[in-house]
Amino acid sequence: MENQAEKVYVKVNQKWQRATVTGKQDGKVSVMTNDGQSFNLPKKSKYFEPIVSKDQKFAYGDVKEQLEGQYISYAKLPESVRDNLVEGKEYFHESTYISEGELKEGAKMVQMVYDRNLGTRLDVQYRRNEAVT
């Protein structure tokens, strides 16, 4: 039985992308991205992330960056929610905040999506509190 090439995510030029491990040596990993770029990086780098499951469509680092861009704390989310987001599933996020001395409520549906022109992005849909007229 043949060994399958190890698939990983790497961050290159401010963008997370899939790559294939081509070699390992002295704590460094050689990778080749799907668009043909080949380079070495430390295995412990924060820009190197092995693919955890076959259902994973996005890098955990990418999800973290996108969520924190929407003021949603990645660290406070349960692990199951993080796993669902990297698989491209929806998550309904509810939160509260103080505005003008009152406790307010906010809710949004978030989902990681891939756009051919824009790459990966976080799709955010806000819940309205008043009916649209």
- Count Cβ atoms below 10 Å from residue 4 Cβ, excluding itself: 7
Question: What is the token pair recorded at 68?
Answer: 């924190």
Domain with 75, as residue range(s), is: 60-126
Question: What is the token pair recorded at 42?
Answer: 């430390």
Tens digits of pLDDT across the chain (133 residues): 446 789 999 999 999 999 999 999 998 999 999 889 999 999 999 999 999 999 999 999 999 999 999 989 999 999 999 999 999 999 999 989 899 999 998 899 999 999 888 889 999 998 776 666 6
Q: Kindly state whether residues 64 and 41 are assigned to the same domain.
A: no
pLDDT tens, 101-130?
A: 999 988 999 999 998 888 899 999 987 766
Q: Kindly state whether residues 11 and 38 are assigned to the same domain.
A: yes
Q: Kindly state whether residues 85 and 120 are assigned to the same domain.
A: yes
Number of domains in the chain: 2
**Is residue 2 in some structural domain?**
no
Q: Kindly state whether residues 68 and 121 are assigned to the same domain.
A: yes
Whole-number Cα distances in Å, 108 to 66, 89, 90, 124: 14, 14, 10, 6
Q: Kindly state whether residues 20 and 74 are assigned to the same domain.
A: no
**Is residue 86 in some structural domain?**
yes
Whole-model pTM: value is 0.83
Q: Kindly state whether residues 46 and 104 are assigned to the same domain.
A: no
**Is residue 133 in some structural domain?**
no
